[in-house]
Structure 1
Amino acid sequence: MRRQHFAELLEELAPRRELARESALEALRGGPRKRAEGAGRKPKLVFIDRLLVTLVHLRLGLPHQALAVLYRVDRSTVSSAVRQVRAMLADRGFAVPDRPGVRIRTLEDLFAYAYAYAYAEAEDVTVCIEGTEVQVRRPQAGRPGRKPFVSGKKRQNTMKSTTLSDHQGRVLFYGAIRPGRIHDQTCVRSEGIAEQFHQHPTVKAEVDEGYRGLTNEFPGQVTTANTLTR
């Protein structure tokens, strides 16, 4: 990412983050602030560092613990920053390579764009669907809904998200965030992805074994990794 692009992104997101933070604090206090702006506990990571940490994590896949060591903070601080900024980036939408002005914010947007592109270019479009898990702090003992966060695959407390990218690995959608115990396929089905395949038959997908059910339901559109290697 160029410095100018980073500066523009920072200028766009910083006011939104500050407004959201002040709104949350006002709701917590039950009224407007009583102390001067800037008083109180200072954040361990200012917003520019939070944005940079998130972009590095998304681009290079560095673990939260490694980033925490670099910034000399606790891992939970980095995890909180990535969770907050990642949601802001998702709300902002994903840019489409070589398509200035196009923004994808929902699965419906992605499938509609891929379908329109396939129609315009007279060729099928293939997207890659992948589920990822991020370790989260273990919910307090005795709190209702604690078990859904325990991932059977990771053997730890996680949150699961779904990423859709193009054939070059460029992310076009990130969402369908659910507790780690929920199956990958359930995450995307709850977002209505099966209906999108019905509505857009020219859009195809490559998936891993976690989405075997989609392959069985849409044999002409969804292909698993094992099928690809045969």
Structure 2
Amino acid sequence: MTGLSARVIADLVVEIGPVWQARQDARRQQRPRRRAAGAKYKLVFVDRLLATLVHLRHATTHDVLAAWFGVDRSTITRAINEIRPLLADRGCRIESGVRLRTIADVVAYLDHTRLTGLMDATEIRVRRPTVKRAGRHQFISGKSRQNAMKALVISDARGRVLFSGASCRGSTADITQARQAGVADWLDHTLGVEMLTDAGYQGLGAQTLGQVITPTPKHQKKRLERMPGIAELRDRQRKSHARRRVRVEHTIAHMKNWRSLTRHLGRRDTLDDTVRAVAGLLSDHQHTQPIQQPVAALPAGTTM
């Protein structure tokens, strides 16, 4: 139901359980007691975690989850609102077990390991704002012509997610989102990071002293006809760049397998927590899967 292995779920229980219990104890101390002494929760922590994971994976409604677990709908709503921020705060896992929570952590990690980063933005459909709300048109994406919000995604060259978040309105340009998220500011502190992007980030390379690499721009066909061989060279450069950058597209596709990111039906202010929670869970899943080694080419005439 969740798409996660039993090992990942067990690690989540051990990691998040004490944090959730500590927050519940602190909340009881801040307000008068509303439950009788010794009363137990109708939905224990493990069930709350499983309900949140199923909701993120399949976008299951709260009514259906309430029927599954035999509780009220409001209980499921409170459980998801409690567990989802805890999942979002975990960050994305890397090989050493350390977690990357901010863009600054990602830039420092890429600078230390000398790995290539891949950056792109993805659109997530959201509910249309009400008619009388100011700035209603700002959620309309210029690309899909739908009400959406954008999330920034950074992965490594192997397609493993390193960061996802920095959500903004759908009308925001990709390069504007990256600047607002602080990508250019953090790249100013290093000169050894290589970040591959698409054409939507052209102009960011000059600002970061060439650390952000965009595909070779297209030129007019008549100008290329005057320079034999230049058109073929530019096509090879663009195809080579696309082959290296396609891994981040695969990462976004894996994230969209979680139905809560194909179309967000909840409140827009909770979308960023949902994106970060899914990214952290996906990174856990990616590090528990065996690495597939490329198959070497067999000599001619060899049979298997």
Question: How high is the TM-score relative to the length of structure 1?
Answer: 0.68
Name 2:99's counterpart in structure 1: 103
Is the aligned partner of 1:93 residue 2:84? no
Is the aligned partner of 1:2 residue 2:5? yes
Name 1:197's counterpart in structure 2: 187
Give the drift of 1:19.
7.8
Match of 1:112 among 91, 105, 108: 108
Deviations 1:77-108 (A, max 9, x none): xxxx99986654341121112x13x2211111
Give the drift of 1:170.
0.5
Distance 1:149 1:19, change over 3 A: farther
Give the drift of 1:218.
3.9
CA distance in 1, matches of 2:122, 2:81: 14
Name 1:170's counterpart in structure 2: 160
Deviations 1:115-147 (A, max 9, x none): 1223xxxxxx21000101111111121112322
Residues 206 and 224 in structure 1, CA contact (< 8 A), matched pair in contact too: yes
CA distance in 2, matches of 1:23, 1:154: 45
Deviations 1:16-59 (A, max 9, x none): 568879999x9xxxx657577899xxxxx9541322443x4xxx
* AA in 1 matched with 2:94: V
Whose strand proportion is higher, 1 or 2? Answer: 1
Q: Which has the higher contact order (CA 8 A, sep 6+)?
A: 2
Q: What is the number of residues matched between the two proteins? A: 197
Match of 1:51 among 44, 50, 53: 53
Is the aligned partner of 1:229 residue 2:231? no
Give the drift of 1:14.
5.7
Larger radius of gyration between Structure 1 and Structure 2: 2
Name 1:60's counterpart in structure 2: none
Is the aligned partner of 1:180 residue 2:178? no
Distance 1:216 1:228, change over 3 A: farther
Task: Could you tell me which runs of 5 or more consecutive residues in structure 2 were left unpaired when the two chains were aligned.
Answer: 42-46, 66-78, 217-236, 241-304
Task: State how 1:61-140 maps to structure 2 within 5 Å.
Answer: 67-68=59-60, 88-97=86-95, 99-100=96-97, 102-118=98-114, 125-140=115-130
Residues 48 and 83 in structure 2, CA contact (< 8 A), matched pair in contact too: no
Give the drift of 1:15.
6.5
Name 2:147's counterpart in structure 1: 157
